[in-house]
Amino acid sequence: MKAKRLKKGDTIGVVALASPPNQEHLKIGLGRLEERYDIHFKLAENIHDTYGHLAGTDEVRLKSLHDMLMDDEVKGIICACGGYGTPRIVEQIDFNLVKKHPKIIWGYSDITCLHNAIRQETGLVTFQGPMISSDIGENYHDISINSFEQLFEGKDLNYPVEQLRFKPFVSGRVEGEIVGGCLSLLVSSLGTPYEIDTKDKILFLEDVGEEPYKVDGFLQQLKSAGKLDDAIGFIIGPFTNSKPKKPEKSLKMEEVLQHFIGSLNKPTVNEVDIGHCTPHFGIPFGTKAILDVDKKVLQIESGVY
């Protein structure tokens, strides 16, 4: 199931489902997107709320998502930022509302659990992409803001390897549906009703602030749960701010990835600019893709119609 593409003049809902956004960066990001795409924004009621490390209580944040889904004026939903808090509301989401009002849902990091739950409960394609406050307002790059074009065009994406990183890791070609997201969030889904399904899928992985030993542990959990064996290929994004505190007593990140993923001998690309990075190229989850490592091709079916 895909959401309808956007057009100029549409209204986009902005939600804060995890941590509170930086208000100055949010304002800057909104302005840049309005100018670039001639769209309007409706801000969630809790967009200025702070409740400890959360953008308001669980009830308020959940209501903001439901309100945006039910609002016929709102044609798409973009997250202001990530942080922490989305897993606390996932079990309370009314997935029938998502089925009844299929809309573009865009974000990453802590939003990973939202992507997986919605896709597996409803079949709706969602989008891993740069967020308004943290990426467009603060860490601006033309490629990041240009990623939103896919929401208006409804045509297949071609990852611009001539502009972005694309490091062959394991050669080969594979076709399949892309799933995944932030590694630590994927691991936290194991054993829940929203445990990620990687069977015959191309698995995308990235994270931020996790040293190699932590990534080692996360990948071991995915391996033990059969998730790595089930996947048919891998797209590895950045592991940002992951330098070990004691490098002389640590494996390198590439050694960890080689042990768990390279050893599977499945088509894999490493260090793509998707995730916690600048620039950040947005992609849909739940559509078919072609990954040809040797020809440096990553072509992804449109996530809208």
Active site residues: 109, 206, 276
Tokens for 67, please give them: 């309100």
Instruction: Give all strands (DSSP E) within the chain, no chain letters.
Output: 11-15, 40-43, 74-79, 104-107, 126-128, 157-158, 167-170, 173-182, 201-208, 233-240, 268-270, 283-285, 288-292, 297-300
CA–CA dist 278, 205 (Å, integer): 16
Tokens for 39, please give them: 């769209």
Exposure of 20 in the CB half-sphere (CA atoms within 13 A)? 17
Beta-sheet strand order (sheet of 74-79)? 40-43, 11-15, 74-79, 104-107, 126-128, 283-285
* DSSP state at residue 68: H
* DSSP state at residue 86: T
Tokens for 189, please give them: 């889904």
Of 253, 259, 248, which is closest to residue 222 (Cα–Cα)? Answer: 259
